[in-house]
Amino acid sequence: MRVIGTVQGVGFRPFVYRLASELDLAGYVLNDDRGVLAEAEGPAAAVESFLARLSSEAPPLASVEQVSPEELAPTGGVGFEIAASERGGSPLALVSPDVATCPACLSEIADPGNRRYRYPFTNCTDCGPRFTIVRDVPYDRPLTTMAGFEMCVRCRAEYEDPSDRRFHAQPNACPDCGPRLALLDRGGERMGSDDPLAAAARALHGGAVLAIKGLGGYHLACRADHAGATAALRSRKHREDKPFALMAADLPAARSLVALSAEEERLLVGRERPIVIARRRLDAPVADAVAPGSPDLGVMLPYTPLHHLLLAQARATLVMTSGNVSDEPIAYDDGDALDRLGQIADLVLTHDRPIHVRADDSVVRSLGSLRPAPLTLRRSRGYAPASIALPAEAARPLLACGAELKSTFCLAHGARAWVSHHIGDLKNYETLRSFEQGVEHFQRLFAVTPEVVAHDLHPDYLSTGYALAREGVETIGVQHHHAHLAACLAEHGELGPAVGAIYDGTGYGTDGTVWGGELLCGDLAGSERAGWLAPVPMPGGERAVLEPWRMACSWLVAAGEQRPALPRALSQTVAPERWEQVAALARSGFASPSTSSMGRLFDAVSALCGLRATVTYEGQAAIELEAAAGPAPGADPYPLAVREAAGGLTLDARETVRAVVRDVAGGASTALVSGRFHAAVAVATAQACARIAEARGIDLVVLSGGVFNNRLLVERTVPLLEARGLRVLLPELLPAGDGGISYGQAAAAAARLARR
Ligand code: ZN
Ligand code: ZN
Ligand code: FE
């Protein structure tokens, strides 16, 4: 029988071996390029039972997608063996994501009598590094970054014993033969400590900033409750406001930081171990610099033995932020890490097991009672490169190059797509290189040689440039917001038709203008624009993204004030001359491309409330506007008209903006203004979607685009749509933001190929 799915590196062969031995069957099992191949010989009933239990009793990390049996003549063999891996042919074997340390390994490292007591690289077939150490397939030790470590006699015996938990655990290691820690000073000199872990924990406890090599890259860490250390980390990292993620020792420690629902606790302890964004407790023991002004904290639990040991010994919750300077990619190469992080960290805790693929921590946010699945803000370590199904099969192997800012890429063939880990902002040269290397790596791992390459319509995206520069392939352009729609449809196995409310910051429209508040109508293959947020100028173009006060000014001009007075809420942050210059730009349209972006409307309102005149990271103004609303329910919506226009519906937010200004001037709380604004967008969105759906006889609505990372907006909008009898899909497996674009491009391109 041939077994296809995630069946390598997950203890599948020993499981088959034990099953066959129990049933007294003869034969063999082996890994090859397509997955697992096995032959079993014995009484018919035993073979039947073997086949059935192959799927039903598979090990926890395995995902059996298909078992295809074939009948062979008996050979009279005796005994069952695990045979050597075979290479050749077309690999379909799936590389598993990295997996958090399992309970059995945890109890070993806590047991002073165990030979792995306090060993930070302990792992087994149920847990440990996978994707981040794989250099090539099949998944076997020589093709991982463990190749340089020769197993000692005892590790080898475990590795070769089919009854052992570490049978064929490729990264198997122990203190005698495996990777070792080293503590370095910022110059890279080894500190003379025989227990680097204890020394690092002591330094952390005392308030030092450490660079720590983890699973998919380096983190920068310090005590979360230490005002001096957190402030030093923030200034040295040049990160002004964006909240730092925290790592808590265990669930009780996490509960002291954030109020956790049962669902959020389940996410925290899951084997993917993402960062979970949850409501900060008022008495949370964290310094101000951790998450300035944020009502939420991002918390994760340890996911490697190193983290478990370090957290236990440091006796404190730690900041665990990506090891980089501002927007650069996270450091994962040792030499590079020292160069870049030596400036920031006091000490570097590193080790000698190389990281092959950089993978950032994933980030999720629960939707409470609204949906069982959380919003995925970043899908990376722990999730990538697990495959995601495609509802319309890709008839030819294809590559989708994604967007630009929160970029991912996606390979697809047949019914399966592999979305990459989070790559980041391609405008950074280092990131662009890792994009290119990542594509090549995935092509090898999943044996997909693209014949078709899908890309965004934006001519200046570096991902578009990459797509168009690939030789000998057919290219397919997919409009940005359609890709958002297609991604959400496809992950739910839907082909459409659907109405999509796709709201984000920026996307290139088919008319060459900047879109971002779109009501689309269509299916997986294509859609048309059925409505939009009535556009306003973006004074100064891209600068308006970093300076939301420009959008506030533009919206005031659009709302009918030829010479809008500088609002009192902005008078501390914006010089009157600049305000007037920007108003002039908005009036004339000079150097001010027109945009229908919903993200920019959120920016404008945030600025009008005096929350954010300028931002230091993407989405900050909208995030703080959402946070300001607080958890309080039911604010009265501002007016936001849905009008009939040539070619579709328009959402006219001018009256909304006037109402915001009136309320702010009248002394209304920011919580109230924000709540009323969110309600207005929700009501208008539901009205507009319902009108389009009714006119076209559609009952399905998709909400996506980065603006829908806003939980308050989702919570307001979904019930309104459902109350009108519409079915609502939200992105779950993939981000609503641009991290989901590559998969949407792949789904759309596959559907177009199928249509031909
Ligand atoms: Zn384990
Ligand atoms: Zn060993
Ligand atoms: Fe987008």
CA of 255 to the centre of ligand 2 (A): 37
Alpha carbon of 369 to ligand 2 centroid (Å): 47
Q: Which residues pair with 569 in a beta bridge?
A: none
Please report, for the chain, how many H helices and E strands are present, in that order: 22, 29
Q: Which residues have C-beta within 8 Å of that of residue 421, sequence separation ≥ 6?
A: 131, 216, 357, 358, 359, 360, 379, 380, 381, 384, 385, 408, 438
Residue 20 pLDDT > 90, yes or no? yes
Q: How far apart are CA 584 and CA 250, in angstroms?
A: 55
pLDDT attached to residue 448: 94
User: CB neighbours (10 Å) of residue 473?
Assistant: 17
- The whole-number pLDDT of residue 632 equals 63
% residues pLDDT > 70 (the chain)? 98
Is 308 within 8 Å of 195 (Cβ atoms)? no
Mean pLDDT in residue range 217-238:
96
- What protein residues have CB closer than 5 angstroms to ion ligand 3? 504, 507, 738
pLDDT at 92 over 70: no
Per-residue pLDDT tens digits for 694-736: 999 999 999 999 999 999 999 999 999 999 999 999 999 999 9
Distance separating alpha carbons of residues 285 and 296, to the nearest angstrom:
13
pLDDT band at 673 (very low <50, low <70, confident <90, very high): very high
Residue 30 CA, ligand 2 centroid: distance in Å? 24
Distance 487 CA to ligand 3 centre (A): 11
CA of 184 from ligand 2 middle (Å) equals 25
Residues with Cβ within 5 Å of ion ligand 2? 152, 155, 174, 176-177
- Ligand 1 center to 430 CA (angstroms): 34
Contact 468, 455 (CB under 8 A): yes
- Quickly state the pLDDT bin for 222 (edges 50, 70, 90): very high
Q: How confident is the model at residue 89 (pLDDT cuts 50, 70, 90)?
A: very low
* 644 vs 666: CA distance, rounded Å: 32
Is a pLDDT exceeding 90 seen at residue 743?
yes
DSSP secondary structure letter of residue 144: B
Q: How far apart are CA 115 and CA 113, in angstroms?
A: 7
Q: Give mean pLDDT, residues 556-563.
A: 94
- Give me the mean pLDDT over the 141-158 stretch: 96
Q: Could you tell me the distance, in angstroms and rounded to a whole number, from the CA of residue 483 to the centre of ligand 3?
A: 9
Question: Mean pLDDT in the chain?
Answer: 94
| Phi, psi at 458, each rounded to 5° | -65, 115
- When pLDDT is cut at 50, 70 and 90, the band that residue 557 belongs to is very high
pLDDT tens-digit series, residues 610-649:
999 999 998 999 999 999 997 666 789 999 999 999 999 9
CA dihedral 659, 664, 667, 670 (to 10 degrees): 110
**Ligand 3 centre and the CA of 516: distance in Å?**
7
Strands (E), 480-593: 498-508, 514-522, 527-533, 536-537
Compute the C-alpha angle 617/619/625, nearest 5°.
115
CA dist list (Å): 203 to 183, 207, 229, 318: 11, 6, 11, 12
- Beta bridge partner(s), residue 533: 651
Q: How far apart, in whole angstroms, are the C-alpha atoms of residue 115 and residue 558?
A: 71
pLDDT beyond 60 at 91: no
Alpha carbons 172 and 133: distance in angstroms, whole number: 12
Over range 71-97, report the average pLDDT: 76
- Three-state secondary structure call for residue 541: coil
The bound ligand whose nearest atom lies closest to the alpha carbon of 126 is 1
Rounded distance from Cα 215 to ligand 3 centre (Å): 29
Whose atoms come closest to the Cα of 116: which ligand?
Answer: 2
pLDDT of 294 strictly over 60: yes
Q: Output the CA 706–ligand 3 centroid distance in Å.
A: 6
Q: How confident is the model at residue 94 (pLDDT cuts 50, 70, 90)?
A: low
Confidence check: pLDDT of 85 > 70: yes
**How confident is the model over 165-188, as pLDDT tens digits?**
898 889 999 999 999 999 999 889
| The residue to which tokens 């507009």 are assigned | 688
How far, in Å, is the centroid of ligand 1 from the Cα of 24?
28
Taking only the tens place, the pLDDT of each residue in 349-395 is: 999 999 999 999 999 999 988 999 999 999 999 999 999 999 999 99
pLDDT higher than 60, residue 88: no
pLDDT at 239: 86
CA dihedral 592, 596, 601, 602 (to 10 degrees): -120
CA–centroid distance, residue 136 to ligand 2 (Å)? 23
CA distance 709 to 702: 14
Contact 713, 707 (CB under 8 A): yes
Instruction: Measure 9 CA to ligand 2 centroid, in angstroms.
Output: 19
